[in-house]
Chains A and B, each alone.
Chain A
């Protein structure tokens, strides 16, 4: 008990008390002022789908998936999950990296080619995206979605309306059952007239 009393007695007049109290006061003032700045910038209403940043559960999944690919570089499933996560959060460079890794393990995954091509288009790397769509068409000639995307790239990206028109028509010729896509293709074609 003696030691404790000695220790405590030494604290009675605390040096730098006013400095520390002053620091805390400055911190409180800073919080108060920042609340005005940030409060004004943050909307309380948002459009659905407008959120681009990675969600916390997705963030939690990334290290887990990274561990899986570090431990097993042939874990295609983990690469696909990573690729999809980064696609969903529009981190196109990373999504392309992981789609490519997954495709190296399973080159016949047509879904992977579709997704990678989509990411490539977002980065305006049209030639590489076209290579993916052509791969899909080689494997599955009636893949009308590939024709549709090739049409979109040629029309809007490469400004080649003739090539685009050909692809849109080929997409329609495959008799797609997706009514929304048919409407979209017809709209694209009518815009070109």
Chain B
């Protein structure tokens, strides 16, 4: 059966290569008659990839430990939910998942109205760019990263899933990232194809829903990763500027830039070259994220395994850069509409793009710094969190300020409500003034809170001034997302620098006071199952004599994993969230209990929810796509 699955991937690769070759021949000769064949061959490849994926899923569900991948990531006691999600727990499975989603996206695009509306020549070029990419992923899956390797002497039981990954955040984080990554394949290929074919239908319009959805999924994946780190790792934070975290953030910067510059092209026909380049860059950075995580290039920081896919990935990225630059540079220069002045909404978007580019460059350089510094350092070291925070947080604060000001600027310049427009700026100045007056430090946090307040004030005013617009999906998606971003900025600005924590060993009956709260350790609860043994400390929390609730941090020992694993417990609040972990337990004594007070941290998650869901309101119907003109 597994040989059949491997064979299915192999045939899918050969079909993709065959179709891509046919597309090249047709493109070379200027013939478009073969397009239906390309579609059929791609459809066949999709069916074969689906069959291979189904076989892997079946192997996981039936816990067939004769398959190496199943033995590596599951065991007989793993709940079925985690067993299914083990599909993307490993490198080979996650690459298969990415390929499956990418292939599915191509089929969805094939049956979309957009595809029916574009010219046959554009379709031909689309397949010429898409099919080699699909073939490349299938090459990795049939060679260096094969999920269908069978064990000659299967173990009685598998190794199981790492306890740190048994969390809903980590279950959803990878697939959302991969779906986001795969989703950007369509806009990138469509951008290249439309450009080369001289497509009359605007590709930014045609790819709008793909861009928005992929962006929302990528954002969800990144933010869920942060939430997982907060809830599972027990250090009280959510972002550590780790190379693996940064890997997914870098394409997010270019994707965000693309969403905004595409709007300028849709409305005014400007920035066509930038958009083609950004669409390609986003896809290439998604592949680069995979390269960073899988190649071992950041080994000096974290010894990631070289799964054999590093070199092919970097070759593919280099080739993609060459093709993207060739297409973008060959575009005619003078025909695109020119941009408005800097003091316009267009100008603000361009400024935003430059901020995003700066952030992407900083994060990219910081992430690969150990590799760069190898040139002159014998023992290269990575940059620390301070480097990223010092440079990136002011840039994020600047971005928030742009969101407060930009809505009051006309698309082509000038303020459309000059008196009202001053209120957000005044709000920012007031917050900063109060912060300075009270001597609150760090100032950057005060500036961040001020910027968030300015955005919120700005959007409330905008809703008051334009009540009709409030009912439109475009307003809710764009300004709602900006408000959600402001909430994240607010949460980060407060929860980061003003977090306090205390560690104290406790025996049952003992307690302590901290930050105005009283904590009392009442005892230990034990729970045992075949899969896991749990010790749970029960901490009663009260404030001013009033009981607030219980914190129940746990210490778990999973079967197949020798070392205990800490489970965080939180007491939810929109103000100060209490966050508890235990390091060790000796008898009934916790050694020690760590309590952290995280002010306003939940606004990060509320903002995250908004920024992931609200952009989906920007989905455009076919009629809206067709009817839009530049000046609307």
Query: Quick check: A13 and B165 within 8 Å, CB to CB?
Result: no
Give chain B nearest CB distance to A92 CB in angstroms: 11
Q: Residue of A at shortest CB range from B131? A: A28
With A60-B244, A70-B240, A80-B563 already in contact, the answer to whether A11 and B73 are too (CB < 8 A) is: no
Find chain A residues with CB under 8 A from B326 CB. 16, 19-20, 23
B502 at the interface (CB under 8 A from A): no
Q: Residue of B at shortest CB range from A17? A: B196
Find chain A residues with CB under 8 A from B197 CB. 11, 14
A42 at the interface (CB under 8 A from B): yes
B256 at the interface (CB under 8 A from A): no
**Chain-A contact segment, one of B43-51, B143-151, B390-398, B545-553:** B143-151
* Interface size in chain B (residues, C-beta < 8 A): 99
Query: Quick check: A53 and B307 within 8 Å, CB to CB?
Result: yes
Find chain A residues with CB under 8 A from B153 CB. 47-48
Query: Quick check: A57 and B235 within 8 Å, CB to CB?
Result: no
Query: Quick check: B3 and A9 within 8 Å, CB to CB?
Result: no
Query: Quick check: A61 and B164 within 8 Å, CB to CB?
Result: yes
Query: Quick check: B337 and A91 within 8 Å, CB to CB?
Result: no
With A10-B332, A35-B139 already in contact, the answer to whether A44 and B148 are too (CB < 8 A) is: yes
With A45-B152, A55-B305 already in contact, the answer to whether A35 and B244 are too (CB < 8 A) is: no
B116 at the interface (CB under 8 A from A): no
Of the four ranges (under 10, 10 to 19, 20 to 34, 35 or more), the interface on chain A belongs to 35 or more
A174 at the interface (CB under 8 A from B): no
Give chain B nearest CB distance to A38 CB in angstroms: 3
Query: Quick check: B152 and A55 within 8 Å, CB to CB?
Result: no
Find chain B residues with CB under 8 A from A43 CB. 149
B94 at the interface (CB under 8 A from A): yes
Query: Quick check: B91 and A56 within 8 Å, CB to CB?
Result: yes
B518 at the interface (CB under 8 A from A): no
A190 at the interface (CB under 8 A from B): no
With A16-B330, A21-B24 already in contact, the answer to whether A77 and B302 are too (CB < 8 A) is: no
CA–CA, A62 and B3, complex, Å: 33
Find chain A residues with CB under 8 A from B584 CB. 76-77
Find chain A residues with CB under 8 A from B94 CB. 56
Query: Quick check: A28 and B240 within 8 Å, CB to CB?
Result: no
A3 at the interface (CB under 8 A from B): yes
Q: Which of A147-169 contact B (CB under 8 A)?
A: none
Q: Which of A35-69 contact B (CB under 8 A)?
A: 35, 38-39, 41-48, 51, 53-68
Chain B residues at the A interface, C-beta cutoff of 8 Å:
2-3, 6, 10, 13, 17, 20-21, 23-24, 27-28, 68, 71-73, 89-91, 93-94, 128-129, 132, 135-136, 139, 142-144, 146, 148-155, 161-162, 164-165, 170, 194-200, 202, 229, 232-237, 240, 242-245, 268-269, 272, 293-294, 301-307, 312, 319, 322-323, 326-327, 330-332, 335-337, 384-385, 562-566, 583-584, 629-630
Question: Can you report 5 A-B residue pairs in the complex whose CB atoms are below 8 A from each other?
Answer: A11-B198, A59-B294, A62-B303, A63-B302, A70-B385
Chain A residues at the B interface, C-beta cutoff of 8 Å:
1-25, 27-28, 31-32, 34-35, 38-39, 41-48, 51, 53-68, 70-72, 75-77, 80-81, 84, 86, 89, 91, 94, 111
Known: A43-B149, A55-B72, A59-B302. 11 other contacts (CB 8 A): A6-B335, A8-B199, A28-B24, A41-B143, A42-B142, A45-B149, A47-B152, A53-B307, A61-B165, A67-B240, A71-B236
